[in-house]
Structure 1
Amino acid sequence: MAILRGDHPPGAPLPREAELMARFEVSRTVLREALRTLTSKGLIESRPKVGTRVRPRDAWNLLDADMLEWYSRVAPPLQFALKLQEMREMIEPYAAALAAGNHEAPACERLTRAHRAMVDAQNVDEWVRADLDFHLCVLAACSNELLIPLGALIERTLEGQLRLNAKRAEVYNASLAEHTAVFDAIVARDAAAARRAMADLLGVTRERIEG
């Protein structure tokens, strides 16, 4: 997180092993394992006679669940929320259209349960769990196995955004009607309506973020 925050800018060397071991109170074995993890995520690189340095930002693998969560903790909250929102706006309306055209019975049943849980939610926690499951179900209903890992990738950060949106609304389930429009269009296999309904829902989300 210190690297993502900019404490160690791209090209800068990391402190020596002894300093890092003392700072984090870990053994050399643990430290080296941690450095291998950061290397695999594109944050750092080690070279003989040069040491360990931070890689350029464009080498960082932010499409990694751990990296995305770490980044969400250190990035300016509004900036991160808008970046995640932009990603959702590019993907989810089309995913809803795909779900409408391609969903199979098991996926539709899971989406129905998620929508019912939203209808029945009695508090913010129940609503957020159901809301998150609803959006993950839409991705799963696309019948495109490449989109399912996307849900797993953004799940933790999306949950945080959904919780924030629920708390900013007049009531936690203020967007139930918009979710129901998405649900009805998918079940009816109306791809165009599903795309529009999801875009409308995300428009409400953006208004809450920017408000």
Structure 2
Amino acid sequence: MSSQYLGFYGGHNTRRTAIQRDLHGTVAFELGSAILRGDYAPAEILPREADLMAAFDVSRTVLREALRTLTSKGLVESRPKVGTRVRERAAWNLLDADLLDWYARVAPPLAFALKLQEMREMIEPFAAGLAASAHDAPAFERLANAHTAMAEARNVDEWVRADLRFHLAVLAACRNELLVPLGTLIERTLEGQLRVNAKRADVFNAALPDHTVVFEAIARRDAQAASAAMAGLLRVTRERIEG
């Protein structure tokens, strides 16, 4: 099963992230991915600047800008007369959008899918209950449109886009501005999980009834039912991941 996750969570994904669109960003991506992959262990000193410049064929200015990027994300720290050291894993800011995306590419696919699932199970049932209590008309309209798009989806791609919109709309409907960036943060990695789950189901839209139960509970402002329905939906998701 884990091989099905590789295309979305493993190193075979070749999409360029925003940070890779310039030279220092590409170096930051490649060096950061190497650290996340375990090529350089925590507390290990990175190769000398001259060696890294040669390895990436870049100037000192470009390399130092890349290292500043990695420093800001908690991956490395520089010390005079010591060099640039990989920080302990607890210091890595894996909730940084770039770092999360890089980690998704190099982490063991099944392990990453389960970590993402754990995060969803902690957040989304409560969010669904909060959305039921707190949603306003514009937020509910976005949720309704996403649910309609799921019902009308004709293929996996349309389903995944609509499914992602649905879950992001639930977070937005909470009317808690701290939850909206969280949805945006995990959007790229969640899309991969939703796609795998759709392909593992008997039909791509097999989960529509479960989403409808969530939607209807939110619509009637039944927070307890919405939370329970989302928890049930995620139990099925976990079964597909582990199956």
- Length-normalised TM-score, structure 2: 0.86
Aligned to 2:141: 109
Q: Could you report, residue by residue, the CA deviation over 1:150-185 in whole angstroms, capped at 9, with x for unpaired residues?
A: 001101100111111111111111100000100000
Three-state SS of the structure 1 residue aligned to 2:236 is: helix
Per the TM alignment, residue 46 of structure 1 is displaced from its structure 2 partner at its CA by 0.2
Correspondent of 2:200 among 168, 177, 187:
168
Q: Which residue does the alignment assign to 2:40?
A: 8
Q: Alpha carbon RMSD of aligned pairs, Å?
A: 0.7
DSSP-derived class of the 1:143 partner: coil
| Aligned with 1:99 (options 100, 125, 131) | 131
Equivalent residue in structure 2 for 1:137, among 159, 166, 169: 169
Please list the CA deviations of residues 107-145 of structure 1 after superposition, one character each: whole Å capped at 9, or x if unmatched: 000000000000000000000000001000000000111
Aligned pairs (5 A) from 1:117-132: 117-132=149-164
Tell me, in whole angstroms, the C-alpha distance in 1 between the residues paired with 2:65 and 2:165. 34
Q: 1:151 aligns with which of 170, 175, 183?
A: 183
Is 1:49 matched up with 2:81? Answer: yes
Q: How far apart, in 1, do the equivalents of 2:132 and 2:190 lie? A: 22
Once the two structures are superposed, the pairs formed by residues 197-208 of structure 1 within 5 Å of their partners are 197-208=229-240
Aligned-partner residue type, residue 114 of structure 2: L
Unaligned segments of structure 2, at least 5 residues: 1-32
Aligned residues, how many? Answer: 211
In structure 2, the residue corresponding to 1:86 is in which secondary structure?
helix
How far apart, in 2, do the equivalents of 1:59 and 1:73 lie?
20
Q: CA deviation at 1:26?
A: 2.0
Q: Which residue of 1 aligns with 2:104?
A: 72
> What is the DSSP-based 3-state SS (H/G/I as helix, E as strand, rest coil) of the residue aligned with 1:161?
helix
Q: 2:92 aligns with which of 53, 60, 85?
A: 60
Paired position in structure 2 for 1:179: 211
In 2, Cα distance between equivalents of 1:141 and 1:158: 18
Could you tell me the percent identity over the aligned residues?
77
Deviates more, 1:22-31 or 1:35-44: 22-31
Deviates most, 3-12 or 14-23: 14-23
CA distance in 2, matches of 1:129, 1:24: 36
Report the more deviating stretch, 97-106 or 17-26: 17-26
Look up the SS of the partner of 2:78 in the other structure.
Answer: strand
Distance in 2 (CA, whole Å) between partners of 1:25 and 1:172 is: 45
Shift of 1:27: 2.1
Q: Which residue of 1 aligns with 2:113?
A: 81
Task: Tell me the secondary structure at the aligned position of residue 63 of structure 1.
Answer: coil
- 1:20-51 Cα offsets, whole Å, 9 max, x none, are 12222222222111110100000000000111
Greater Cα offset, 51-60 or 13-22: 13-22
Q: What TM-score, normalized to structure 1?
A: 0.99
